[in-house]
Amino acid sequence: MEDAGSASSAGGGRTKMLTQEQISFFHENGFVRIPKVYSPEEIARMSDELDQLIQDWATTNMGWTGPWRQVYMSPDVEKRSMLTHLHDLHFYSEAWCRAVTHPRMAEAMADLLGPNVELHHTTLHCKPPETGMPFPMHQDSPFYQHEGFGYIDAIVHIDDATLENGCLKFLPGSHKQGHLPHITRLENGESCSPHLPTDKYRLQDAVPCPAEAGDVVAFSIYTVHGSEINRTDRWRRLVRVGYRDPLCRQIAGQSLGRAGVIVRGMRPVGALAPTLS
Ligand SMILES: O=C(O)CCC(=O)C(=O)O
């Protein structure tokens, strides 16, 4: 795939960040890798501040719960498997505030969402070495359900992500179905992290999307995805940034009712009125 930086002219006088090929790939498959959104210097700064945030603010625990853990991990590994996570990094760090409002990121999102783009949330997922938690196949809509298709998650890669350290894997075209029911309860009625049945949606059937530090992988809130355990001796750090068309109304979940920063264009009259009133 071409570097996003080489994308060129656009209709309507705006220079697009993405090529038409990248935009079409996204609409067809539900995900796209956007190379080199951040420069090595920007990533170095984001990496340093991320390490500080991990020390000062992040939580490390077993991560997601559910019967899928026994499917993807041996009993011994399952006990030791961990995830380091933190929400809304841009509230804690200048480098991350700049990163989530970065013009190249905002332009790329506008190419996929339309002229107005609102930041919804950021979430760190850091897989520790050797047993960093795998993610079962799921959509992101159960975590912050919205109406319609105007919501994209953009994964900012701080480290190179490979099959070995647990890069994202996607089911191409799965976004077209919209929101799917997820398993959210165990047989005994206790709640667990939303995920799709592991016999129907298998991690091994999904297409890996390796990426380099500085790349962004964008995908629809409805694209079915997951990732495998980190088998390497190094951390795999990435940050998910959620963006939406301000007219895409949230129904439930993370940050419901919170207005986000407009990173491109303007908030149309009537969008999220209850939040701002
Ligand atoms: O961090 C990962 O490997 C998976 C991330 C993911 O599934 C998500 O952000 O929805």
Q: How confident is the model at residue 190 (pLDDT cuts 50, 70, 90)?
A: very high
Is residue 194, in this structure, part of any structural domain at all?
no
Count of structural domains, the chain: 1
Number of alpha helices (DSSP H) and beta strands (DSSP E) in the chain: 7, 14
pLDDT value at position 142? 98
Kindly state if the Cβ of 102 falls inside 6 Å of ligand 1: no
Give how far the C-alpha of residue 108 lies from the chain's centroid of Cα atoms, to the nearest Å: 14
CATH of the domain at 96: 2.60.120.620
Is residue 215, in this structure, part of any structural domain at all?
yes
Pocket test for ligand 1, best of 31, 127, 168 (most atoms within 8 A of CB): 168
Is residue 9, in this structure, part of any structural domain at all?
no
Q: How confident is the model at residue 2 (pLDDT cuts 50, 70, 90)?
A: very low
Is residue 73, in this structure, part of any structural domain at all?
yes
Q: Please check the confidence at residue 170 and state whether its pLDDT lies above 50.
A: yes
The mean per-residue pLDDT over the stretch 268-272 comes to 81
pLDDT value at position 116? 97
82, 132 contact by CB (below 8 A): yes
Whole-number Å distance, alpha carbon 14 to ligand 1 midpoint, is: 32
Q: Please check the confidence at residue 221 and state whether its pLDDT lies above 70.
A: yes
pTM of the complete model: 0.93
81, 62 contact by CB (below 8 A): yes
Kindly state if the Cβ of 237 falls inside 6 Å of ligand 1: no
Is residue 21, in this structure, part of any structural domain at all?
no
What is the domain range of residue 86?
A: 29-177+210-276
Q: Please check the confidence at residue 112 and state whether its pLDDT lies above 70.
A: yes
Is residue 191, in this structure, part of any structural domain at all?
no
Is residue 10, in this structure, part of any structural domain at all?
no
The mean per-residue pLDDT over the stretch 83-91 comes to 97
Kindly state if the Cβ of 236 falls inside 6 Å of ligand 1: no
Kindly state if the Cβ of 30 falls inside 6 Å of ligand 1: no
Atom of ligand 1 nearest to the CA of 155: 9
Task: Find residue 208's DSSP bridge partners.
Answer: 169
The mean per-residue pLDDT over the stretch 45-66 comes to 97
pLDDT value at position 13? 60
